[in-house]
């Protein structure tokens, strides 16, 4: 005897909850890293396999924090930190005269930088062009040229600026300041 499932009482009908929530997006580079992990397993590429497992582990650990890695730019930050750590440990290995560990750290750093290079970032020329157009707008509106007002007019989003590391960001701001000073002297 087969019975269809029906709510017999109104109490049951109201006690059920329907929930829809979107799953967080996965960074496209992270999806590529997962597929490359399988390829590295098949090729028995130990160095690449270790690096990819480490990256996946760090992303999974970051998913449990308040700021999970959901975009390529946040993954780029992680890759840059990992490359810097590998470079620092390479220097320590060189100081300790451990050539075997130095070679391994160098190979791992190359793999990390290979993946970091795949993230699309804003070029310094594009930032410079945006700063120049902001200066032109301010001059046309005959507003005071100050570095703060120029940088507010730059149409680049915060996400674009995050694709730069700290030194590149400082260089872009310094270049903007130099452009403003050069125009003020004219």
5-40 pLDDT per residue, tens? 555 555 555 555 555 555 556 788 999 999 999 999
- Its pTM stands at 0.67
pLDDT of residue 35: 95
pLDDT of residue 57: 96
Compute CA distances 32 → 15, 51, 68, 91, 180, whole Å.
Answer: 42, 14, 18, 30, 42
pLDDT of residue 142: 74
Contact 92, 45 (CB under 8 A): no
pLDDT of residue 107: 97
At 107-153, the pLDDT tens digits run 999 999 999 999 887 777 777 777 778 777 877 877 777 767 776 77
pLDDT of residue 108: 97
Longest dimension (CA), the chain: 94
- Of 174, 168, 136, nearest to 155 by C-alpha is 136
**Terminal Cα-to-Cα distance of the chain (whole angstroms):** 94
């Amino acid at each position: 005897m087969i019975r269809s499932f029906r709510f017999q009482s109104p109490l049951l009908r109201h006690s059920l909850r329907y929930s829809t929530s979107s799953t967080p997006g996965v960074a496209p580079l992270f999806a590529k890293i997962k597929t490359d992990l399988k390829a590295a397993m098949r090729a028995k590429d130990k160095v690449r396999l270790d690096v990819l497992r480490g990256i996946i582990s760090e992303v999974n650990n970051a998913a449990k924090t308040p700021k999970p890695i959901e975009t390529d730019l946040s993954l780029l930050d992680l890759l840059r930190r990992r490359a810097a750590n590998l470079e620092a440990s390479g220097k320590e290995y060189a100081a300790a005269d451990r050539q075997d560990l130095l070679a391994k750290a160098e190979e791992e750093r190359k793999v990390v930088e290979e993946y970091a290079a795949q993230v699309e970032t804003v070029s310094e020329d594009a930032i410079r062009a945006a700063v120049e157009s902001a200066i032109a707008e301010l001059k046309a509106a005959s507003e005071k040229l100050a570095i703060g007002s120029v940088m507010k007019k730059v149409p680049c989003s915060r996400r674009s600026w995050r694709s730069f590391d700290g030194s590149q960001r400082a260089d872009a701001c310094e270049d903007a300041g130099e452009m403003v000073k050069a125009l003020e002297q004219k």
